[in-house]
C-alpha cells in the first residue's frame, strides 16, 4: 500500500467531502480516503499495483474539484 497526499480545492461543505470520497473510493485499488474540509488535505491509501497517482488526480478533477501544486 502507498499513500498519496493531495491538496484539493473547491470543496465548500460536507457534501463535497462525501462526493470526493465516493469518487476516489470508486477507483480500483483505493483502500481508504481521509478528507479534511477546512484544509483540503486528502490522504489516499491505495495499491500501487492496481492504480497510479495520476488516476487519483484525474478522479478529483472529474469530480469537479481542483488541485494545488
Q: Are 48 and 61 in contact (CB under 8 A)?
A: no
pLDDT the model gives residue 23: 97
pLDDT the model gives residue 13: 96
For residue 69, pLDDT over 80 is answered with no
In this prediction, residues 36-59 reach a mean pLDDT of 97
* Domains, the chain: 2-68 (3.30.70.100)
Alpha-carbon gap, residue 37 to 11, rounded angstroms? 7
pLDDT 10s digits, 10-36: 999 999 999 999 999 999 999 999 999
- Residue 56 banded pLDDT, cuts 50, 70, 90: very high
pTM of the model: 0.92
Q: Are 62 and 54 in contact (CB under 8 A)?
A: no
Amino acid at each position: 500500500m502507498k499513500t498519496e497526499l493531495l491538496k484539493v480545492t473547491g470543496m465548500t461543505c460536507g457534501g463535497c467531502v462525501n462526493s470526493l470520497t465516493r469518487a476516489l473510493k470508486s477507483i480500483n485499488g483505493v483502500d481508504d480516503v481521509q478528507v479534511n474540509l477546512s484544509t483540503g488535505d486528502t490522504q489516499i491509501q491505495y495499491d500501487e499495483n492496481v492504480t497510479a497517482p495520476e488516476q487519483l488526480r484525474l478522479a478529483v478533477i472529474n469530480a469537479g474539484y481542483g488541485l494545488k501544486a
